[in-house]
Amino acid sequence: MAYAEHRQEDLPVAFETATVGDAMSRGVISCPPETPLRTVARMMATFGVHAIFVFERLDEYDEIPRLWAVVSDLDLVAATQLNLNSVTAGATAVTPLVSIAVDRSIEEAGSLMSQYGIAHLAVTEDGSSVPIGVISTLDIARAVAAGHSPREIFASA
């Protein structure tokens, strides 16, 4: 799946009441753990993203893949001294995978990012572990820059 455009609604939302769903990008870009790191780098460059979600299936009958980790651009940079054709996403994914519900506040998302020292959160819907999107530090920066109306800046991006 690929990152989608930011949501744009007709009514502005105050930053203090904005939710993750107001600022997130819908969809995620993912790969299995055995994907070569060079392929992960191509995915980042092609889609213009800073993180790739790593999923795995426990067995061939597993219909829903399970989140396993995230390969961030910083993980990729740290691995550049390795053979990028033979090292895999699973071997280099050191960024912890943290998720947040779509209805949580942007402020809470920022707090989680700060607490874990990460730049991306998987966004999930009620009770599901399957991500529906991602929120990044850049998404939060856009909301902060807009001050009282994060959707206004998303509409102009």
pLDDT tens per residue across span 81-120 = 777 778 889 888 766 688 999 999 998 999 999 999 888 9
What's the pTM?
Answer: 0.74
Label residue 75 by pLDDT band (50, 70, 90): confident
Q: Which residues, listed in sequence order, are joined to residue 55 by a DSSP beta bridge?
A: 67
pLDDT tens profile 123-141: 988 777 778 899 999 888 8
Please give the structure tokens belonging to residue 89.
Answer: 């996403």
CA-CA distance, 96 to 57, in Å (whole number)?
A: 19
Residues 6+ apart with CB under 8 A from 105: 17, 18, 19, 20
Check if the beta carbon of residue 104 is closer than 8 Å to that of residue 20.
yes
User: Mean pLDDT for the chain?
Assistant: 78
Query: Maximum Cα–Cα distance for the chain, whole Å?
Result: 50
Neighbours of 123 (CB within 10 A): 25
User: Domains plus CATH for the chain?
Assistant: 15-156 (3.10.580.10)
Q: Name the phi and psi angles at 43, rounded to 5.
A: -60, -45
Residue 56 has pLDDT above 70, yes or no: yes
